[in-house]
Amino acid sequence: MIEVVIAGAGPNGLMLACELALAGVRPVVLERLTAPDDKQRANGLVGQVVRLLDRRGLYERLTAPHTTPEPAPRFTFGAFPLDLSDLPDNPLYTLMVPQRRIESMLAERAAELGVEIRRGHEVTGLTQGEKSVTVELRERDPIEAEFVVGADGGRSAVRKLAGIAFPGVTTDDSVSRTAQVSVAPDAIGADGGLTVPGFGVIPPFQHLRTEHGLITWAPFPGRDPALSTVEWGQPAEGEASLDELRASARRVLGADIALSPPTGPGPHLMRRLFGGNTRIAERYRAGRVLLLGDAAHVHSAIGGPGLNLGLQDAVNLGWKLAAVVRGHAAEGLLDTYESERHPAARRVAMHTQAQSLLTRPGGDVTALRELFGELLDQPATRRHLAGLLSGADITYAMGPATGPLVGHWSPDLPGLPDLTRTARPLLLDPTGTLDPGPWSPHVDTATVPGLDTALLLRPDCYIAWQGTTNDGLHEALGTWFRPA
């Protein structure tokens, strides 16, 4: 019997597969598509997930050898420029790489770890038993697994088959249009901004709001730039086209942009979307079936929080599910996946809805933006938004057995990525005297002089305990990591 079946070979499913494999579980990934999807989707990573990839040794695979993440000095919130350059300990990190490259890297890493990916396998049915789940497949023999994880997107078949409701809000009054384009080289300034005669400059990688809609110019290095618009009350029919995008930009700006077809290698992005959804699964678990990523939550893409949320779901779930499969999970450990990650999804849903509202046209929104702009002059407001957008403000407040146990994201320490690549619990001991006791075979220990306090890190790099003596250490170890 297969230990874990993961439905969906997108970034979230592949990340979970890697985490399970690091913990000694060999999952099987089932993917409906027969080949990787080459459509352009997310354009990069935003938030704590950038440092998380670094701590698994994966950041260099997407950048260059011996590179480390750096905080972003600028970002955007609700079509406002967000200056973060004056913030001490700025928590917002970004990495501009296309989703298909992230998927390719994670698929390569999964293969290195012995994960089997079966393409052309579509899940059509689930039957749960006391100790297993039977997975029915289209035109293939059913398979049996101890657990099934649905990482199969917003229209998740696994979620529907498990009978998990997906409540939320659907809007249908907006149209967004996005395409890769080319423009005259002299229209692009030294900072990447796009000069539009009769309007001015569209800054790069910023949402620009007018009284008629929203426009975004994204001059990605090494590939064709992308232009996006969002309008309200402008229906569209037929196939999306460059002419349609050009006309939309004219309505939003009141001026023409000289757009031409992209010149670089394809496939090229040409997309039109109507409305949007903000939905969160009623529960993340039904017996031996769990949900992950977009299968558990969908929301506006504004600010790019989707992969940050989904990949952190995967790392939160991976070590807990592996502990259950291997038979040494603390009681109730798997239930903390939902109790910890469901609030994180609600927080992302909240701020993406707020940002979407701030971008709409209308005098009342303009008045709201005037007030909000005043608040952004305050460093405390910008720091709050940086924590919100990055997910650095998320804390896990309850242990599975012993009650309150505050869990914060671990600090930046020199050499920390080299210690966290195994995805094992890690005790950072400044004295070299702490004793994990019977948990010693299951916890890595490192002496780190200079720390003010010892830290016990969970495999997802959240702090499970801190102190200067053994007091409370064994209690925390027992809370999260029952000895085999």
Q: How many CB atoms lie within 10 A of CB 342?
A: 18
pLDDT at 398: 52
Closest residue by Cα to residue 479 from 298, 330, 342: 330
Query: Could you check whether the bond before residue 267 is cis, i.e. omega within 30 degrees of 0?
Result: yes
Closest residue by Cα to residue 74 from 62, 63, 87: 87
Please check whether the two domains, 2-167+278-390 and 170-276, share a CATH topology.
no
The CATH number for 2-167+278-390, chosen from 3.40.50.1110, 3.40.50.970, 2.130.10.10, 3.50.50.60, is 3.50.50.60
The 3-class secondary structure across 281-296, one letter per residue, is CCCCEECCEEECHHHC
In angstroms, the first-to-last Cα distance of the chain is 22
pLDDT at 397: 74
Query: Which of 68-77, 342-351, 447-456 shows the lowest per-residue confidence on average (mean pLDDT)?
Result: 447-456
Percentage of the chain exceeding pLDDT 70: 97
Strands of the sheet containing 444-447, edge to edge, are: 444-447, 426-429, 454-457, 463-467
Distance (Å, rounded) from C-alpha 239 to C-alpha 233?
A: 18
29-53 burial, b for 16+ CB within 10 Å, e for fewer?
Answer: bbbbeeeeeeebbbbbbbbbbbbbb
pLDDT at 331: 83
**Domain map of the chain by residue range?**
2-167+278-390, 170-276, 408-480
pLDDT at 413: 77
pLDDT at 402: 41
136-145 burial, b for 16+ CB within 10 Å, e for fewer?
Answer: ebeeeeebeb
pLDDT at 40: 67
pLDDT at 335: 94
Q: Is the dihedral of CA 330, 332, 333, 334 positive or negative?
A: positive
Using the predicted structure, report yes or no on whether residue 37 has a pLDDT greater than 90.
no
Query: Which of 99-103, 143-147, 220-224, 322-326 shows the lowest per-residue confidence on average (mean pLDDT)?
Result: 220-224
Closest residue by Cα to residue 214 from 354, 99, 95, 357: 357
Q: Judge contact between 228 and 178, C-beta under 8 A.
A: yes
| Mean of pLDDT values over 421-444 | 93
Mean of all residue pLDDT scores within the chain: 93
Q: Judge contact between 199 and 254, C-beta under 8 A.
A: yes
pLDDT at 390: 95
| Mean of pLDDT values over 372-398 | 92
What class has domain 170-276? alpha beta
Query: Topology of 408-480 in CATH?
Result: Glutaredoxin (3.40.30)
Per residue in 311-369, pLDDT tens?
999 999 999 999 999 998 888 999 999 999 999 999 999 999 999 999 999 999 999 99
| Mean of pLDDT values over 46-71 | 94
pLDDT band at 404 (very low <50, low <70, confident <90, very high): very low
Per residue in 287-315, pLDDT tens?
999 999 999 999 999 989 999 999 999 99
| Mean of pLDDT values over 436-450 | 91
Q: Judge contact between 1 and 131, C-beta under 8 A.
A: no
Q: Is the dihedral of CA 470, 471, 477, 483 positive or negative?
A: positive
pLDDT at 451: 85
Q: Provide the residue count of the chain.
A: 484
Q: Are strands 396-398 and 80-83 parallel, antiparallel or unpaired?
A: unpaired
pLDDT at 403: 39
Q: How far is CA 342 from CA 87, 336, 410, in A?
A: 29, 10, 21
